[in-house]
Amino acid sequence: MSNTYSLHLLEKLHLSKLVYFNKDFNEVYSWFGGHEIKIFNYIGEEIGHSTIINNKTKADYQLTDNIEEKDVQLSIDAIVRSLYNG
């Protein structure tokens, strides 16, 4: 079964640096280079956000910090795990 994504969602995602599609929950996690991961539904509405966690210090990244891409991936993994375990 295929999913239909809106043009509104694609317009938002085209500037992102990293995108993860969670098909089980119909959510899209997108990172634009800042300290947050934005969460969208398939019609392109922002339905939430999550601050990226620094894996070394276990603290939230702040707006002015240089973000390591691996920490973005690990933070997205944590969001997905919490959905399946929560």
Q: Residue 75 above 90 pLDDT?
A: yes
Q: Residue 3 above 50 pLDDT?
A: yes
pLDDT at 14: 92
pLDDT digits (tens, 9 = 90+) for 12-68: 899 999 999 999 999 999 999 999 999 999 999 999 999 999 999 999 999 999 999
Q: Residue 2 above 70 pLDDT?
A: no
pLDDT at 1: 46
What is the residue extent of each domain of the chain?
Answer: 7-85
The structure tokens listed for 76 are 């997205």
How much is the pTM?
0.89
